[in-house]
Each structure stands twice: as structure tokens, then as C-alpha cells.
């Protein structure tokens, strides 16, 4: 009796569970685009290096990061982290501190002396990079990794571009900057300083370069006509910040007025305080909501005692005073003068009205189009002159270090392909995963780790770094807050909840951790509903 009964159950169970013909939808494991990756101007695979970091594989995480960005310790300090603004976790509790983990990995690499080998087969090609800022050095790094000989020429006395001459030490310590630049040079990139390129075609021809990447920073401060007395002290913010890298620091006096509302204006005001100014007043013609400066820059400036005069413009400068006119918004939100003026005591006026690029090296170069002070480039970053590419501050884009690094990498990929006589085609973009695709109940509340900051009273008199880094335990905790949006992290939820045992575990080292046995799946969709990270999609069944 026992044996026939057992056989009957086995056969009946097999017939009953093969229900593929009943389905209207079938589950499909997918790999979607995480919003952090999508928002990164440098094109980092953020989710992947966070995954390695949360496993405690810090060197592996750093090497993954270095595939796209050679400056993690720098970026962990100066990037405005748009990845965090896009992070889905912000809809649950607080965004993942991606930037702080990146800084930890960058600092760990410097501490441990990790290096990147330049072991690609030599290509026999030579590339000239003009400008040793973030974009130029990023391109040089990526080109060297691909076997090309790279020469970087810069007009300045030290490498780093606006990272050195535009970002104060309290945001970016110079030992960190020097360490990450040195790593690139140690790969075999040749650097020539105090070498201003005045004729790019001549330098290309005489140096035997097969391609050129132009990455000159916006080192020229914009001027504005302001009536001024002969004894008035007026300087631009770019010159002020650049002067901080010299042997003698600029003298501003006890009261300093800064005219402008961008990040450079905030840096100039905070620098003035550190140079001994008792008052540093930012005058801006619009409201705070319309300031181009990032919120974190404004907040830190306010914490340090920087004064703000919104809806104000400067009419005249005399010895020891600045005449300020109050503005008011019209019905379109545009500021209009009111005629109401006020005199502010000031020993100096710092103009922070934007920056421009010196494009004189392109004079007479056929095919290159310049519009409104920037060079026009094709989607492959090439100018109208074959073999000459451009990026960073020179082309139409937001002027940040992160954007410049992304331009350098993108240009390097296209230059590498162009030198080989082919075209580079980026992988198709995956579908973006949004918060509504996740199952947030799976994740417990875990507030973001706050980075330590220097006390405000100390920040007003020292150029010590303001924002500190995370230690290993905090960095590990922060990495583990990542929800792995859109990509399976092998939580076994689908395996555990499937009522028909249709989920099969695969080799954990493969691209996918599971597959669906469609002979037994009846398309109920429970697996997709219970997937924490939205890595299962339901697609219509086809007959």
C-alpha cells in the first residue's frame, strides 16, 4: 500500500505544479540603474564599490572606484555629491553618506600606499594634455592605463589646476591633493610645469602628438564696471585664492566686502575671515534661494560668521567705503534697483562674479568654434579640428571638479578609440529604479552617520580642515545602509517566499544569483512584490 500511494502522489504533484500555461505574467530578474550611479557626473559605479566596501573589501572597493575616478580622497572632500541628492534611501530615513565612504576609501589608499599599475600593452601613440587640473589629469590617467604615452603641460608652477588654486586648504589639504596627483605621475605620465601652450597646433606638430586634449581651467576672474576712487582696493576672488598658494598671503584689511553669490564668493569670504578680517560681508543682487552657491557652502559660511546682504548691488567704491543699493524683486522675480543706498565700511572689495578661460592658444586653429567663451564639442568631446578634444571648464557644462573628472574620462575613452581608428560606443543605459519599485520595510531605520567638523571658533582663525572623515566602523556602517537599488544582493527573499519552490539558487559568483523554473512558476508575482531592491520585473507572458 505504501509504495503505490507514494508513486501516485509524486506523479500527481508533478502534473499539478507544471502550471506555466496558467500564467499571464512571468518574473524576470533584471539589473536596473541605481539613481546614485545615474546622477554621478564622473560616471562612477557607486553601488558596486559600496557593495565591496560593505563586505569589508576596502581595497577592492577603491580599485572599483578608481576605474572611473582617480581622485577619491579629493572627491570625498570637494564633490557636492549629486549622487546623494538622488539616493532613494532619502525617502526612507536619510540618504546614504556616499561621499564620506568615498573619502574613507581614498584616505585608506593613501595610508596603505595602494597604486594602480600601468601595465597595458604600449600603443605607440602620444597624447598631449593641456592643463593639469581635474579634467586634464583624469584624461591623462585613463589614457595611460590604456597604454598611451601622455604628456601634460600646464602654465602654473604646480599641478592641480583649480583644485589647488581655487579650493582653499580648509576644504582640501594639500598633502591629500599631492598624494593623488603623485599616484598618476608614478604611472608614467609626464608633467611639464610653467609651460604655457600658446600655439596648440605648433606644439602638437613639434611634439609628434597623435591627439590633444584641452583642459584649461577658468582662471580669469570676470570684471564689472564699478566707479572707484584711486585709493580703492579691488581684487578678484580668483586672484585672492591663487595668492594663498604663494609665499606671501594677500592683505585685505579688517573689513572686506565680497561681491557675488557663487561658491567662489563663499570661499573668498571664508578665506578673508581666516586672514584676519573682523567682518566679511557677501553682497548679492538676488535672494538666497537664487544663489548659485551650494547650500552646504552657504551654511558653513554663516556658521563662521560671514554676513550676507541679499538683494543688494554695489554702485561705487571709495577709499574705506562701498556704496550699496537695495534691490527688490519685480513680478517676474527679477531684481530691480530701488534707489535706496547705504554705505558700508570696507578696506577692500573682492569681486566674485564668475570666471573665464584663456582661449588664446586656439587663435588661428581652423574648425574650432568658440561661443560665449567656451569651446563647442561633439558628443565624443572632439572639437571641429580632428584629433583635438576638449573638456572641463572649456566646454559648456557645470564647472565643478566632478564634472571635469567625468569629461576627462569620457574624452579619454573617445581618444583611445579614435587613435585605434574606431568609435567608442557607451553601453546602453539601463532603466532607472525609483523608490516605488523597492520594498522599504525590509530595511531597518539607520540614520546617516554625521562627519565630525571643526568648531566654528577655530575655523575663523585657522586653515585646518573643517570637515573630518569617518573611521572604519562608521564607514562600514554607512556602506551597509545602501539599499542596492535595482540590483540583486542575494537576500534570499524570493527563494523563501515562492509558494511553488520555483526559484533556483545559482552560482553566487555569477551575474545573477537566482533563476526561475518556469515549469513550476504560476506567475503570482509574490517574488517581485517581496524583492527589497526592485530586481525582479513581471513581464507579459507570450504564447
Are the CB atoms for 161 and 132 separated by under 8 Å? yes
Nearest to 267 by CA among 374, 165, 157: 165
Question: 335, 352, 369: which is the final residue of a domain?
Answer: 352
C-alpha to C-alpha distances, 401 to 75, 397, 406, 519, nearest whole angstrom: 8, 11, 9, 53
Instruction: Assess whether 232 and 347 both reside in one domain.
Output: yes
Residue-number span of the structural domain to which 96 is assigned: 35-115+445-479
Question: 299, 319, 352: which is the final residue of a domain?
Answer: 352
Q: What is the pLDDT of residue 446?
A: 86
Position 8 in a domain: no
Q: Which three cell numbers stand for residue 422?
A: 574606431
Q: What is the pLDDT of residue 19?
A: 55
Q: What is the pLDDT of residue 333?
A: 85
Bridge partners of residue 128, in order along the sequence: 151, 212
Instruction: Assess whether 345 and 233 both reside in one domain.
Output: yes
Position 413 in a domain: yes
Instruction: Assess whether 254 and 318 both reside in one domain.
Output: yes
Q: What is the pLDDT of residue 270?
A: 96
CATH value at residue 501: 3.30.70.20
Low pLDDT (below 70) residues in the chain = 1-21, 230-231, 543
Q: What is the pLDDT of residue 247?
A: 76
Nearest to 138 by CA among 485, 411, 507: 411
Instruction: Assess whether 391 and 408 both reside in one domain.
Output: yes
Residues 6+ apart with CB under 8 A from 10: none
Instruction: Assess whether 22 and 84 both reside in one domain.
Output: no
Position 209 in a domain: yes
Residues 6+ apart with CB under 8 A from 287: 310, 311, 329
- The total domain count for the chain is 4
Q: What is the pLDDT of residue 1?
A: 32
Instruction: Assess whether 231 and 329 both reside in one domain.
Output: yes
CATH value at residue 159: 3.50.50.60
Instruction: Assess whether 177 and 232 both reside in one domain.
Output: no
Instruction: Assess whether 260 and 405 both reside in one domain.
Output: no
Q: How far apart are CA 293 and CA 76, in angstroms?
A: 19
Angle separating helix axes 58-66 and 98-112, nearest 10 degrees? 100
Instruction: Assess whether 292 and 343 both reside in one domain.
Output: yes
Position 270 in a domain: yes
Instruction: Assess whether 341 and 231 both reside in one domain.
Output: yes
Nearest to 282 by CA among 312, 252, 238, 254: 312
In angstroms and rounded to an integer, the radius of gyration of the C-alpha atoms of the chain is 28
Position 210 in a domain: yes
CATH value at residue 475: 1.10.1060.10
Position 424 in a domain: no
Position 233 in a domain: yes
Q: How far apart are CA 431 and CA 542, in angstroms?
A: 22
pTM for this predicted structure: 0.91
Question: 333, 352, 371: which is the final residue of a domain?
Answer: 352
Q: What is the pLDDT of residue 232?
A: 74
Q: H helices within 160-233, ranges in order?
A: 162-165, 174-185, 200-207
Instruction: Assess whether 233 and 335 both reside in one domain.
Output: yes
Position 9 in a domain: no
Instruction: Assess whether 209 and 132 both reside in one domain.
Output: yes
Q: What is the pLDDT of residue 18?
A: 57
Q: How far apart are CA 176 and CA 78, in angstroms?
A: 12
Amino acid at each position: 500500500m505504501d509504495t503505490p500511494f507514494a508513486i501516485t502522489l509524486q506523479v500527481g504533484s508533478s502534473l499539478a505544479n507544471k502550471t506555466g500555461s496558467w500564467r499571464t505574467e512571468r518574473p524576470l530578474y533584471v539589473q536596473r540603474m541605481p539613481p546614485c550611479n545615474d546622477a554621478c557626473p564622473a560616471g562612477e559605479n557607486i553601488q558596486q564599490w559600496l557593495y565591496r566596501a560593505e563586505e569589508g573589501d576596502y581595497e577592492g572597493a577603491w580599485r572599483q572606484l578608481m576605474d572611473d575616478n582617480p581622485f577619491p580622497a579629493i572627491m570625498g572632500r570637494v564633490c557636492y555629491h549629486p549622487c546623494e541628492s538622488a539616493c532613494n534611501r532619502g525617502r526612507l530615513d536619510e540618504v546614504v553618506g556616499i561621499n564620506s565612504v568615498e573619502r574613507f576609501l581614498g584616505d585608506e589608499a593613501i595610508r596603505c600606499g595602494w597604486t594602480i599599475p600601468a601595465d597595458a600593452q604600449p600603443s605607440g601613440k602620444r597624447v598631449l594634455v593641456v592643463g593639469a587640473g581635474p579634467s586634464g589629469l583624469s584624461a591623462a590617467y585613463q589614457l595611460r592605463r590604456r597604454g598611451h604615452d601622455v604628456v601634460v603641460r600646464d602654465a602654473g608652477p604646480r599641478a592641480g589646476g583649480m583644485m589647488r588654486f581655487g579650493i582653499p586648504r580648509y576644504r582640501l589639504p594639500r598633502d591629500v591633493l599631492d598624494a593623488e596627483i603623485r599616484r598618476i605621475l608614478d604611472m608614467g605620465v609626464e608633467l611639464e610645469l610653467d609651460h604655457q601652450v600658446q600655439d596648440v597646433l605648433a606644439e602638437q606638430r613639434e611634439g609628434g602628438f597623435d591627439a590633444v586634449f584641452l583642459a584649461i581651467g577658468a582662471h580669469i576672474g570676470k570684471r564689472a564696471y564699478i566707479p572707484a576712487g584711486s585709493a580703492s582696493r579691488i581684487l578678484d576672488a580668483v586672484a585672492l585664492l591663487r595668492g594663498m598658494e604663494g609665499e606671501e598671503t594677500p592683505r585685505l584689511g579688517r573689513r572686506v566686502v565680497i561681491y557675488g553669490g557663487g561658491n567662489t564668493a563663499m570661499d573668498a569670504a571664508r578665506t578673508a575671515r581666516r586672514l584676519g578680517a573682523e567682518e566679511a560681508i557677501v553682497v548679492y543682487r538676488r535672494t538666497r534661494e537664487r544663489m548659485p552657491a551650494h547650500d552646504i557652502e552657504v551654511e558653513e559660511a554663516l556658521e563662521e560668521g560671514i554676513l550676507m546682504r541679499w538683494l543688494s548691488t554695489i554702485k561705487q567704491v571709495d577709499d574705506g567705503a562701498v556704496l550699496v543699493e537695495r534691490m527688490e524683486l519685480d513680478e517676474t522675480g527679477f531684481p530691480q534697483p530701488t534707489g535706496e543706498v547705504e554705505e558700508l565700511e570696507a578696506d577692500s572689495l573682492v569681486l566674485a562674479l564668475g570666471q573665464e578661460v584663456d582661449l588664446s592658444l586656439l587663435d588661428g586653429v581652423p574648425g574650432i568654434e568658440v561661443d560665449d567663451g567656451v569651446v563647442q564639442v561633439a558628443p565624443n568631446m572632439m572639437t571641429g579640428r580632428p584629433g583635438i578634444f576638449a573638456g572641463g571648464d572649456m566646454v559648456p557644462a557645470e564647472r565643478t571638479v566632478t564634472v571635469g573628472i567625468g569629461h576627462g574620462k569620457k574624452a579619454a575613452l573617445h581618444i583611445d578609440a579614435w587613435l585605434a581608428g574606431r568609435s567608442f560606443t557607451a553601453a546602453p543605459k539601463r532603466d532607472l529604479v525609483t523608490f516605488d519599485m523597492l520594498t522599504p520595510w525590509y530595511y531597518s531605520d539607520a540614520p546617516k552617520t554625521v562627519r565630525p567638523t571643526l568648531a566654528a571658533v577655530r575655523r575663523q582663525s585657522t586653515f585646518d580642515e573643517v570637515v573630518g572623515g569617518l573611521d572604519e566602523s562608521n564607514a562600514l556602517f554607512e556602506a551597509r545602509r545602501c539599499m542596492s537599488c535595482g540590483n540583486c544582493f542575494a537576500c534570499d527573499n524570493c527563494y523563501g517566499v515562492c509558494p511553488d519552490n520555483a526559484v533556483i539558487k545559482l552560482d553566487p559568483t555569477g551575474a545573477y544569483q537566482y533563476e526561475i523554473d518556469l515549469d513550476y512558476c504560476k506567475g503570482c508575482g509574490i517574488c517581485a512584490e517581496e524583492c527589497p531592491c526592485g530586481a525582479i520585473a513581471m513581464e507579459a507572458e507570450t504564447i
